[in-house]
Amino acid sequence: MTAPSSQSWTLAEIAARLGGDVHGDPQTRISRVATLAGAGAGDISFLANRKYKSQLQGCQAAAVILAPDAADGFAGARIVTTNPYAYYARVATLLYPARAGFSGVHASAVSASELPASVAVGPHVVIGRNVQLGENVVIHANTVIGDGVTIGADSIIYPNVTVYAGCTLGARVIIHSGTVIGADGFGFAPDGRTWVKIPQIGAVTIGDDVEIGANTTIDRGALEDTVIGEGAKIDNLVQVAHNCQIGAYSVLAGCTGIAGSVTLGEHCIVGGAGMISGHVTLAPGTTISGGSLVMKSINQAGLYTSVFPLDSHDEWVRNAAHIRRLSKLAERVAELEKKLKTIENE
């Protein structure tokens, strides 16, 4: 069950802040979000997936967030809006605002830069020289901020994050634990039997309102910066290699791997464990299904999939064997077509 919030809002107050139309008692007070099946007094729930519409009849929520065409499905108080899922997310933010849990600069933190009075810095944080922090930045324990880093206002850096020298983070950026921003890109030049390291002299630039999940790595550029556009959302365990350009409001799901110099247009989506080869460009609005491998550029937006369908092991082995023979089969078909043309022309 969802924990009660320290906040409490009436439906009228919520609608005044977030919009939407209130049906029923506008003074209904909300202190918690919950599922349709688990909601009770003081809870607000939502219907975004129509397969759960039948749960509205027995729902005990104090109020439900509904789309206009589902507004009559619940007899109690409700807020009607065109996007119930996004509205629910905003209500949850009102009820459960992010809190640092501490204030000021901890005595064990070390900073070589002057910090605004409004920032909160946790234990054992290390902040380098010439670092610029905006107002109300929160940096949790054991994080390292390198020389010359800029972090915009209202950003939150969770524990054990490392931001290498020279990187820039915009306002309201959230970086979760264990993430590394600005490590060297994987750049080595072959020289006979050895590899010569290529200095990675670019940095990482992250736009406003970006959120990056836990244990994700974003490498600095070799010459120019790796860029994460504003509003992008990156999940846990994602690798973004050097010189990538991730478009604004794009989404990368967990375990995605993006090789160097990849360009994603705005509003691209890459499903979990998607792999994108180096120097590939995806058109704005492109969606890649989870587990797919992208080896060439995509110039037209749409949904693309390269996953081999799941099957029983024996059937999969038989199909894989057929696939291996496709090249020879294509050659045989081409040869037969040539012979058929010769016969037709005689």
Q: Two tokens at 73?
A: 């499905």
For domain 9-95, is the CATH number 3.30.365.10? no
Residue 6 has pLDDT above 80, yes or no: no
From 3.30.70.60, 3.30.565.10, 2.160.10.10, 3.40.1830.10, which CATH number describes the 110-304 domain?
A: 2.160.10.10
Neighbours of 16 (CB within 10 A): 13
Max mean pLDDT range (4-13, 65-74, 317-326): 65-74
User: If you ran DSSP here, which 8-state letter would residue 113 be given?
Assistant: S
**Phi, psi angle pair for 70, to nearest 5°:** -120, 10
Neighbours of 122 (CB within 10 A): 22
Three-state DSSP state, 337: helix
Continuous segment of H or E residues that includes residue 206: strand 204-206
| Cα gap 19→80, rounded to integer Å | 9
Three-state DSSP state, 21: strand
> How do the domains of the chain map onto residue ranges?
9-95, 110-304, 313-345
- The amino acid at 130: N
Strand partners, 251: 233, 269
Asked whether the beta carbons of 84 and 22 are under 8 A apart, the reply is no
| Cα gap 197→131, rounded to integer Å | 28
* Cα dihedral 184/190/196/198 (nearest 10): -40
Sheet holding 138-139, edge to edge: 120-121, 138-139, 156-157, 174-175, 211-212, 233-234, 251-252, 269-270, 287-288, 303-304
Mean pLDDT score of the chain: 95
Task: Point out the residues that are catalytic.
Answer: 242
What would the pLDDT profile of 207-251 be if each residue is shown by its tens digit? 999 999 999 999 999 999 999 999 999 999 999 999 999 999 999
| Cα gap 69→81, rounded to integer Å | 10
Average pLDDT over residues 162-181: 98
Percent of the chain with pLDDT over 90: 88
Secondary structure string (H, E, C) spanning 265-276: CCCCEECCCCEE
| Cα gap 313→292, rounded to integer Å | 20
Q: Two tokens at 107?
A: 């005595």
What would the pLDDT profile of 18-29 be if each residue is shown by its tens digit? 999 999 999 999
Residue 1 has pLDDT above 60, yes or no: no
Residue 5 has pLDDT above 70, yes or no: no
Asked whether the beta carbons of 23 and 41 are under 8 A apart, the reply is no
